[in-house]
Amino acid sequence: MTHDPRPFGRLLTAMVTPFAPDGSLDVEGAAKLATYLVDEMRNDALVVSGTTGESPTTTDGEKELLLRVVLDAVGDRARIVAGVGTNNTAHTIELANAAEKAGAHGLLVVTPYYNKPPQAGVERHFRAVADAVGLPIIVYDIPHRAGTAIATETMCRLAEHERIVAVKDAKGDLIASSWVLCRTDLAYYAGDDAATLPLLSIGAVGLVGTSTHFTGPIAKEMIEAYERGDTGGALELHRRALPLFTGIFRAPGTMLVKAGLRARGLPAGPVRSPLVDASAEELDQLRLDAAAAGLTL
């Protein structure tokens, strides 16, 4: 497998999982939301069953059904990446095999969380998953949630595996990311919306976003502007979107994205416990953040 410099395009959204009022999976809503994200928000790819998709509270069966629904809706027009990361290597491999069988185009695998493995365990985990499937893998480095950062040397060794092709980078360490980028051919995607432009400046290729449920066209234009050498235009777009790039995380992003989608009349539904639906005050603030970015919710 040769490494594509942009294996999943420039813009991906970590899609929320729509639920019905009773909390069950909203299959029709998922298809409609995926279509909106590809056709109107200009996404090249979607991540299903990431943390924003409430993967901790969906069953393995629901994850597979959601993946198949999204693939049927937009899989011929966008690449669909299945979130399969857990803190159990064997379970992650089970989810990865199921996603591959369902037709996923790639996998998002997060650092094992809570049990805080040493770097040898982190490397073994990712290699075991990559050895078990034939799909390209995005390594998700998010130490403030996982509890463990992927060290530079570990990431460089993982890059030697032919199926480990990309990183969703939410580490917040530009120097560490820069060292990996100059030593490997991994495709780096920002995992924090507001960090996209800084990461582009050191060699990243795109964004796996949360606010991009609403800011997709702005984010896509910003990336394209930077790539064609219009750094001033990219900076202007970064500053325009910044209120929503950051505001979407005033509360857990899933809560605010779902509130904003409901306000727009799009499928979202409630969140599952232990999350709680955004309050009226939180929605009001989200609307102010959107307005500051020139958008309406």
* Averaged pLDDT, 97-102: 98
Mean of the per-residue pLDDT values of the chain: 97
- Residue where the block lists tokens 């979607």: 46
Q: Max CA-CA distance within the chain?
A: 49
Q: Which residues contact 221 (CB under 8 A, 6 or more apart)?
A: 237
**Residue 161: pLDDT band by 50, 70, 90 thresholds?**
very high
At 1 the pLDDT is 47
185-204 confidence digits (pLDDT tens) = 999 999 999 999 999 999 99
Residue-wise pLDDT tens digits, 220-264: 999 999 999 999 999 999 999 999 999 999 999 999 999 999 999
Beta-bridged to residue 279, according to DSSP, are: none
Query: What percentage of the chain carries pLDDT values higher than 70?
Result: 99
pTM above 0.85, yes or no: yes
169 backbone dihedrals φ, ψ, rounded to 5°: -100, 105
Tokens matching residue 196: 């996209």
SS3 28: helix
- Candidate list 113, 140, 188, 226, residue with the active-site label: 140
pLDDT for 265 beyond 80: yes
Can you state the angle between helices 280-292 and 231-247, rounded to 10 degrees?
170
Instruction: Taking residues 103-108, report their average pLDDT.
Output: 98
Active site residue 168: yes
Q: Give the Cα separation of 4 and 94 in Å (integer).
A: 26
Mean pLDDT of 98-127: 98
List the catalytic residue out of 168, 171, 220, 258. Answer: 168
| pLDDT of res. 4 | 82
pLDDT of 162 > 80? The answer is yes
Mean pLDDT, to the nearest integer, of 109-135?
98
Output phi, psi for 90, to 5 deg. Answer: -60, -40
Is the per-residue pLDDT at 3 higher than 80? no
Set out the domains of the chain in order of their start, with CATH numbers: 11-231+265-270 (3.20.20.70)
pLDDT-derived band of residue 2, with 50, 70 and 90 as boundaries? low
Distance CA 48, CA 50 (A): 6
d(CA 92, CA 124): 13
